[in-house]
Amino acid sequence: MRVLFFAPPAKVHVFAQVPLAWALRAAGHEVRAANRPNMLDDITRAGLAAVPVGPSFDPGSFVGEEEREPLPWESWQEVLEFAELRPEKLTYDYMHAVFAAWTLVFQGVSPPEVMADLVRFARSWKPDLVLWDTLAFAGPVAARACGAAHARLLFGLDVIGRMRGTYLEAVRRRPVELREDPLQEWLSPVLERHGGGFDEDVVMGRWTVDPLPSSLRLEVDHHYVPMRHVPYHGPAAVPDWLLEPPKRRRVCLTLGLSVREVLGGDRVSIGDLLEAVADLDAEVVATLNADQLAGIRRLPDNVRAVDFVPLNELLPSCSAILHQGGFGTLQAAVTHGVPQVILPPRAGDWDSRIWAHRVQGAGAGLSAPDSRRVTAGEVRAMLDRVLAEPSFGAGAERLRTEMIGTPAPREVVPVLERLTARCRTL
């Protein structure tokens, strides 16, 4: 069969799709990955055939391309809480504000030019299945336009699915004239232009491939296909120093690619983080580039700063990892059974705070309540605990065992074949 992948124009989102794309290719299926022109090198360097759609993406803006003045990320923090799980907070007005704000982001990922190009390619190539990232709604639009089956490939927790059901219940309780759904109001005319109509499959997919350990997932009434997360961080040469066993404990300090390249900069003080790890009885490998280190006069003696090193190669030698709760970083740590110290933003993120809370609840790490206000001393205390107390290593190993017990991408391929045959309308 023919399978078309579509993701937001960010490396971490593209990289999350690569292992399943490889598995499909190895099973004999034809695979294409569509994205903005500036992402094609990352796709082709992963050994996949790339399809350009729309103009190159400006990572300085996360709103619709017609909105030339991007809203500051932090100014949205009171309404960008898809991660809000407390029932008393989930009023109609609150959830409407969340969907209204995030619909601007979704429009930025799938503006009209991208929609048109992806639909045009889908109608020409005629894929049997479209696999689309949680944020990439041009995927289901293109699938509807060409009659393909379609499914989400989750990037992170299914916070949309969790809130969507609650929101629709709240909408149905309102008088008809007062019912609003920003996501439907955006997608309905788009679908009509391309010969389709709106329903909830466009939001949730006919089914969803979920690469999370079952104990970390959110409870949502939906058809999920579990799949083991296989870390991929792009092509890279393993540095010589990483080939040698560490002479003492090793700690990874990373702030992730998304924050560095897309979200507008670091949300914690790098100086404070370096102060926290200074004199720690461990070798600290900090994945920080020159811009991030511009204000640092001197690195602590125990810190090795590198612009980039694949976490999949680094983490097997690490006793702990300090990070901000990004999906790729957290999943890599779970895959390798590494205890975590997580510094998620207080608000305004996708799902980092839930991740952090659940990892801590699993006994696999510790989380700070607010990375903006955490002190170097508090970070150091968390690191000391995670390194000293064996229970954190045991908790991380339990998550790793759970992850390994989840079907690998190659084992998921036959499931996708059966579901595609059942759901496509070609």
Asked if 105 and 135 touch (Cβ cutoff 8 Å), the reply is yes
pLDDT average, residue stretch 223-243: 94
Predicted local confidence at residue 292, as pLDDT:
87
- Mean pLDDT is lowest, of 152-161, 253-262, 365-374, for 253-262
Domains parsed from the chain with CATH numbers: 2-228+406-423 (3.40.50.2000), 240-404 (3.40.50.2000)
The neighbouring-strand residues paired with 322 are: 253, 341
How far is CA 327 from each of CA 64, 215, 254, rounded to the nearest angstrom?
Answer: 24, 15, 13
Per-residue pLDDT at 301 exceeds 60: yes
DSSP 59: T
Alpha-carbon distance of 187 to 137, in angstroms, equals: 8
Predicted local confidence at residue 349, as pLDDT:
65
Per-residue pLDDT at 220 exceeds 80: yes
pLDDT average, residue stretch 168-191: 95
Predicted local confidence at residue 67, as pLDDT:
41
Of the two residues 76 and 267, the one the predictor is more confident about is 267
Per-residue pLDDT at 352 exceeds 60: yes
Q: Kindly indicate the confidence band of residue 65, based on its pLDDT and cuts at 50, 70 and 90.
A: very low
Residue 317 CB partners (closer than 8 Å, separation 6+): 242, 245, 246, 250
Q: Find which of 289-293, 326-330, 408-412 is predicted with most confidence, using mean pLDDT.
A: 408-412
Alpha-carbon distance of 240 to 318, in angstroms, equals: 16
DSSP 77: T
Predicted local confidence at residue 61, as pLDDT:
53
Predicted local confidence at residue 257, as pLDDT:
65
Predicted local confidence at residue 213, as pLDDT:
92
Average pLDDT, rounded, for the chain? 91
Indicate the SS3 state at residue 248. coil
Predicted local confidence at residue 295, as pLDDT:
82
- Would you tell me how many other CB atoms lie within 10 Å of the CB of residue 90? 18
Alpha-carbon distance of 225 to 249, in angstroms, equals: 37
Q: Kindly indicate the confidence band of residue 59, based on its pLDDT and cuts at 50, 70 and 90.
A: low
Predicted local confidence at residue 231, as pLDDT:
93
Alpha-carbon distance of 382 to 373, in angstroms, equals: 15
Asked if 382 and 368 touch (Cβ cutoff 8 Å), the reply is yes
Per-residue pLDDT at 76 exceeds 90: no
Predicted local confidence at residue 70, as pLDDT:
43
pLDDT average, residue stretch 183-209: 96
Predicted local confidence at residue 264, as pLDDT:
47
pLDDT in tens, 117-158: 999 999 999 999 999 999 999 999 999 999 999 999 999 999
Q: Kindly indicate the confidence band of residue 389, based on its pLDDT and cuts at 50, 70 and 90.
A: very high
What radius of gyration do the chain's Cα atoms show?
A: 21
Per-residue pLDDT at 260 exceeds 70: no
pLDDT average, residue stretch 417-425: 93
Stated as kind and residue range, the H or E segment containing 342 is strand 340-342
Say what the pTM is.
0.91
Q: Kindly indicate the confidence band of residue 63, based on its pLDDT and cuts at 50, 70 and 90.
A: very low
pLDDT in tens, 84-129: 889 999 999 999 999 998 999 999 999 999 999 999 999 999 999 9
- Mean pLDDT is lowest, of 28-32, 75-79, 92-96, 205-209, for 75-79
